Structure 1
């Protein structure tokens, strides 16, 4: 089974790439969804987060109030690291279990979408990394129109992430998304065709 790691910053266009794969019935593991699962009551991660940050982050319904928790860690690198040191291993465990299930089911290709793929050190879970990049100022415009974020808040969120240069240096396939949706889709198609050739060549060698 061949595993693609898909990553990119906020408003880069990752969801358009995952839609491309889903339309071809290729399984996509969404690390963000797995992150939500790690916060569910009864999980080991849930208990450890409460132990680290206090019972007052628990909402009346027993779930972790992610807005309260987010307020505790936002702008505090040490606290954020304390949280990710708990949550990221939980996500990795769930992702590894899903990958094993997909392989057992006979899937030839699977995508792991993770915005924090590099930061969490999950490259060893995948065979190649696709990076979607967008110019920061274009990302600011998209966040303003899509999420209603004011430009300064958008720039702060972008600045807190890895830079495009860092991602490009560590990625295997780079898809640039500074233009229209049609242009992005054409670049995804090109990357897809190149992937098919690589997989075909690899199968021939084996």
Structure 2
């Protein structure tokens, strides 16, 4: 199997069938080059963009848009390891090798047998072209829906394509936005795709902080390409251009591509980055690195998660899998007990009002002090954290001596206290802050303001995701959460088995 390959198709109507047929021959990127009558090129490619990207899922497929030109070499960003072609190219097979610019020395030539006799039918849609075309989107984890949008824009451009890639506040309304790739990475992926499908156009791929981006001030732009769900954005852009004295943009809208392989009822019916992010839950986002500062066994999983995130329910599911559990919040409460050093230290620091008549720490009064004042919270942390982590380490060692191979250390402050440095892996539990506030109000009978203070005083979801090896979100159904746990546990067992053999 080659890393990257190119498929030459003599008849556009065969493209999808042949694309599926070669799926086991290419590991990474498959380029498709259609041999089309130049007079029909735009119309046929317009149809094949939707046809191929809506059906080919096995790999990263890229339909080359430039008309066939035997005098100009085909340029690709990835080196070609295999050249595939249907029987119409057989007599010129050797020439195909010399038509490609980026090719491996040991490239393979392979004819793909196909006896069907099909003819390409022209699309009824006429393709109008423009010198300057624009489009925008999040373009997270570039998928086939994105490729349709980008390809339709590039097909209609004769000189230049401007792409706005959403950044900062524009992404925070997205499902699991904390798992969205950095904007620099998304820009690179878009540019890589566009320069692959047509390297002759000019591309300006830029981060945008609002709906408009360059469209509000660039007088050269003539067309904007949108999906049917973002067509209202095009209307607003034209309103802004009118305010700024610029020509209105023509609008070309594409239909949303349907998701043919939904893995659960929680996923969207369209091809979406949200589905891709949801499928990352319970998988390894970052490979665990050796931690020479702690013993190899027991294997310690740090479990982070904000208040009311559902962290405890995740812990219970891991306990049922066979993990031993250490709850650092419970350790802290135990260290608050009357007669213990921390109890008197807290009283001295925050005043006698935080101690009940029975000598217990009144956690509600203490919470009202520290969660409304960052300095007071930091003061409490400096008192509690060292004592808690030392006790947790003592218990981990004891559990290992009892024969436990996996210990989960649960703590709301896991990330902020950097206790994950005492673990082999960090797993994080996240839900939208609005949901955490709602749950906290219901569970603890708090006002909305009190709940917001508690949630905002803790590390954000993004802070936790940025350092986590695995992320869970118990925001959806019980079954969906359980699937995440099953996936993570299975991966962990495979990893530990390999670790034993080293």
Give the TM-score normalised by the residue count of structure 2: 0.39
Q: Does 1:44 align with 2:325?
A: no
Q: Distance in 2 between matches of 1:65 and 1:156?
A: 18
Contact 2:326 2:409 in 1 (8 A): yes
Q: Distance in 1 between matches of 2:437 and 2:476?
A: 14
Cα displacement (A) at 1:135: 1.7
SS of the residue aligned with 1:119? Answer: coil
Counterpart for residue 203 of structure 1 = 500
Q: Distance in 1 between matches of 2:445 and 2:346?
A: 30
Cα displacement (A) at 1:171: 0.7
Q: Distance in 1 between matches of 2:453 and 2:356?
A: 28
Q: Does 1:92 align with 2:92?
A: no
Cα displacement (A) at 1:20: 1.1
SS of the residue aligned with 1:170? Answer: coil
Q: Does 1:138 align with 2:435?
A: yes
Moved more, 163-172 or 47-56: 47-56
Give the TM-score normalised by the residue count of structure 1: 0.91
Alignment of 1:68-79 (within 5 A): 68-79=365-376
Moved more, 126-135 or 40-49: 40-49
Moved more, 85-94 or 54-63: 54-63
How many residues get paired? 205
Q: Does 1:177 align with 2:481?
A: no
Q: Does 1:109 align with 2:433?
A: no
Cα displacement (A) at 1:152: 4.2
Cα displacement (A) at 1:142: 3.0
Contact 2:318 2:485 in 1 (8 A): no
Cα displacement (A) at 1:146: 3.7
Q: Distance in 1 between matches of 2:442 and 2:433?
A: 14
Q: Does 1:67 align with 2:364?
A: yes
Alignment of 1:14-53 (within 5 A): 14-53=311-350
Contact 2:371 2:453 in 1 (8 A): no
Q: Distance in 1 between matches of 2:447 and 2:366?
A: 22
Q: Distance in 1 between matches of 2:500 and 2:437?
A: 42
Cα displacement (A) at 1:148: 4.2
Q: Distance in 2 between matches of 1:93 and 1:58?
A: 24
Contact 2:324 2:407 in 1 (8 A): yes
Q: 1:67 to 1:148 in 2, by over 3 A?
A: closer
SS of the residue aligned with 2:300? Answer: strand
Q: 1:65 to 1:159 in 2, by over 3 A?
A: closer
Counterpart for residue 119 of structure 1 = 416
Q: Distance in 2 between matches of 1:26 and 1:151?
A: 35
SS of the residue aligned with 1:174? Answer: strand
Q: 1:58 to 1:161 in 2, by over 3 A?
A: closer
| More RCO (CA 8 Å, sep 6+) | 1
Which is higher, the Rg of structure 1 or of structure 2?
2
Runs of 5+ consecutive residues of structure 2 not aligned to the other structure = 1-297
Contact 2:371 2:454 in 1 (8 A): no
Higher strand share: 2
Higher helix share: 1
SS of the residue aligned with 1:16? Answer: helix
Q: Distance in 2 between matches of 1:74 and 1:158?
A: 9
Runs of 5+ consecutive residues of structure 1 not aligned to the other structure = none
Q: Distance in 2 between matches of 1:57 and 1:138?
A: 30
Cα displacement (A) at 1:54: 2.8
